[in-house]
């Protein structure tokens, strides 16, 4: 079961107390900046993890100055579309906010007394989105409660890592498919169900790259499965000329 740290109490709680029931993920972002994008990315990860556990999810955006531009930036990062808060309806839900946001400022569409997920800030406030996939990976590579510096070195590292992974996945796809080993599937789920630990998922993939006991067909299926959570388009280059 997915458990997250509730910013109101500092304690781990189930993200969806009524398991597999419809769940609303409310992202509240007062401004259009890099931290707002990270809030939306964490909301996207939360929705992906809940869906992987069989829960119907809809995502809602509240606040947000320059909402159209924020939506366009989010789409470039592969973040799912968000409904406007006024159309949200009712039901169990989780709020995702920037660290330090005042309790109860979620605005229309918010869920009273909902579990609150806090997201640490990103610097600079106006990041370079020329390579949005690299930005997504750079944000995923740090725990959501840790500050992120989207400097050229971090983006270069993310770009190189993503290129390496996509080349490897495209090569592994040429081999006979093999099922995802149960122990690897368990490690991946244990990571993302532990407070949306995306860095933990990436660590599992690094071990998968070098594990001599894994057939290449299994490596491909593992990466495809993990990407249902990460959203990094790891299979994008499958079938492309090497």
pLDDT tens digits, residue range 3-12? 999 999 999 9
Residue 93 and residue 179 in one domain: no
* Single residue among 78, 111, 127 that ends a domain in this structure: 127
Domain of 48 in residue numbering reads as 3-127
Residue 66 has pLDDT above 90, yes or no: no
Are 65 and 32 within 8 A, CB to CB?
Answer: yes
The CA-CA-CA angle for residues 126, 130, 134, to 5°, reads: 95
Residue 111 and residue 8 in one domain: yes
Relative orientation angle of helices 182-192 and 216-230, to the nearest 10 degrees: 20
For residues 123-148, give the mean pLDDT.
Answer: 96
Question: What is the pLDDT, as a whole number, of residue 33?
Answer: 94
DSSP 180: P
Residue 240 has pLDDT above 90, yes or no: no
Question: What is the pLDDT, as a whole number, of residue 116?
Answer: 95
Residue 45 and residue 116 in one domain: yes
Residue 91: pLDDT band by 50, 70, 90 thresholds? low
Counting residues of the chain whose pLDDT is more than 70, the rounded percentage is: 93
Question: What is the pLDDT, as a whole number, of residue 110?
Answer: 52
Any alpha helices (H) in the chain, and if so which ranges?
34-52, 67-76, 132-140, 152-172, 182-192, 198-210, 216-230
User: Domain of 66: which CATH number?
Assistant: 3.40.50
Question: What is the pLDDT, as a whole number, of residue 138?
Answer: 98
Residue 107 and residue 214 in one domain: no
**Tell me: the pLDDT tens digits for 156-203?**
999 999 999 999 999 999 999 999 999 999 999 999 999 999 999 999
Residue 119 and residue 161 in one domain: no
Exposure string for 9-31, b = 16+ CB within 10 A, e = fewer: eeeeeebbeeeeebbbbbbbbbe
> In this structure, is residue 149 part of a structural domain?
no
Q: Give the dihedral sign, CA 143/138/65/126.
A: positive
Residue 239 has pLDDT above 90, yes or no: no
Least confident of 77-86, 89-98, 231-240: 89-98
**What is the pLDDT of the chain when averaged over all its residues?**
91
> In this structure, is residue 74 part of a structural domain?
yes
Residue 95 and residue 23 in one domain: yes
Question: What is the pLDDT, as a whole number, of residue 104?
Answer: 47
> In this structure, is residue 26 part of a structural domain?
yes
Any alpha helices (H) in 53-131, and if so which ranges?
67-76
Are 191 and 200 within 8 A, CB to CB?
Answer: yes
Please count the residues of the chain: 242
Question: What is the pLDDT, as a whole number, of residue 130?
Answer: 95
Question: What is the pLDDT, as a whole number, of residue 179?
Answer: 97
Residue 37 and residue 114 in one domain: yes
Residue 8 and residue 122 in one domain: yes
Closest CA to 192 of 184, 203, 201: 201
Residue 126 has pLDDT above 70, yes or no: yes
- Which single residue is written with the structure tokens 């499965």? 225
Residue 100: pLDDT band by 50, 70, 90 thresholds? confident
Residue 163 and residue 58 in one domain: no
- Which single residue is written with the structure tokens 């090569």? 171
């Amino acid at each position: 079961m997915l458990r997250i740290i509730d910013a109101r109490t500092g304690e781990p709680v189930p993200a969806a107390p009524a398991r597999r029931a419809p769940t609303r993920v409310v992202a509240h972002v007062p401004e259009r900046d890099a931290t707002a994008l990270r809030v939306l990315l964490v909301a996207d990860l939360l929705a992906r993890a809940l869906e992987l556990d069989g829960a119907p999810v809809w995502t809602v955006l509240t606040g947000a100055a320059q909402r159209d531009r924020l939506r366009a930036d989010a789409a470039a990062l592969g973040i799912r579309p968000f409904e406007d808060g006024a159309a949200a309806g009712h039901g169990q839900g989780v709020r995702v906010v920037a660290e330090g946001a005042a309790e109860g400022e979620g605005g229309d569409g918010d869920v009273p007394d909902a579990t609150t997920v806090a997201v640490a800030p990103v610097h600079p406030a106006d990041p370079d989105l020329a390579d949005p996939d690299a930005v997504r990976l750079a944000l995923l590579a740090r725990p959501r409660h840790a500050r992120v510096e989207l400097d050229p070195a971090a983006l270069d590292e993310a770009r190189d890592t993503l290129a390496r992974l996509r080349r490897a996945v495209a090569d592994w796809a040429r081999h006979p498919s093999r099922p995802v080993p149960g122990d690897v599937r368990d490690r991946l789920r244990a990571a993302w169900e532990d407070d949306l630990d995306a860095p933990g998922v990436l660590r599992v993939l690094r071990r998968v790259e070098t594990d001599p006991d894994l057939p290449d067909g299994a490596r491909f299926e593992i990466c495809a499965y993990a990407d249902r959570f990460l959203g990094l388009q790891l299979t994008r280059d499958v079938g492309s000329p090497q």
